Amino acid sequence: MSITDLKQTYPDAEIFKFGDSEELSDQLIALVRSGRKTATCGALRDFGEGGETMPVAGRRDIALSWDGSPALVIETLEVTVTRYCDVTEDFALAEGENDDLSGWRRDHKAFFERNGGFAPDMELVCERFRLVEDLQAEAS
């Protein structure tokens, strides 16, 4: 299904990619497909004017593969702004990338250091979501 077709089905959808590299993007999409990843976060500084659009509970968004092809449609269930140092183990585990909070902290600190800087008290946009459509499975 093309992005144009998807935008007709989901007219309010934002289009985004998970991660900051092809390898990470592929890993995160696979975690969403498996049901292990039901949350994501980003630095609050990256949202708003000139940046990413804030997630909105109830909105369905389109995740692209690294090559730009549609991969998934997700529906945002909850959005909160939380300081990095206050992220709970429950949220960290819902991200699906690590088996504990310390692993989440290590990996996310490295991610933020690569992407604009890190501070323990930085604010994060924390999003919980559900998978609506796996677009590549439907294409097979």
Q: Residue 60's domain is classified under what CATH number?
A: 3.10.400.10
Inter-residue contact 1 to 92 (CB < 8 Å): no
Q: Assess if residue 24 is contained within a domain.
A: yes
Three-class SS of residue 85? helix
Q: Tell me, what's the pLDDT at 38? A: 98
Cα–Cα distance, 100 to 128 (Å, whole number): 18
Residue 78 is part of which domain span?
3-82+125-139
Q: Assess if residue 129 is contained within a domain.
A: yes
Q: Assess if residue 66 is contained within a domain.
A: yes
Q: Tell me, what's the pLDDT at 99? A: 95
Q: Assess if residue 87 is contained within a domain.
A: no
How many domains does the structure of the chain reveal? 1
Considering the entire predicted model, what is its pTM?
0.93
Which two three-digit tokens encode residue 14?
């934002």
Q: Tell me, what's the pLDDT at 135? A: 94
Give the pLDDT means over successive 10-residue stretches in the chain (140 positions).
93 96 97 98 94 95 97 98 98 97 98 97 98 80
Helix segments in the chain, DSSP class H: 3-9, 22-34, 89-94, 101-114, 135-139
Q: Assess if residue 58 is contained within a domain.
A: yes
Q: Assess if residue 117 is contained within a domain.
A: no
Residue 62 one-letter amino acid: I
Q: Tell me, what's the pLDDT at 136? A: 82
Among the listed residues 50, 43, 58, the one whose alpha carbon sits nearest the alpha carbon of residue 111: 43
Q: Tell me, what's the pLDDT at 1? A: 82
Q: Tell me, what's the pLDDT at 28? A: 98
Q: Tell me, what's the pLDDT at 138? A: 59
Q: Tell me, what's the pLDDT at 139? A: 55
Q: Assess if residue 109 is contained within a domain.
A: no
Q: Assess if residue 21 is contained within a domain.
A: yes
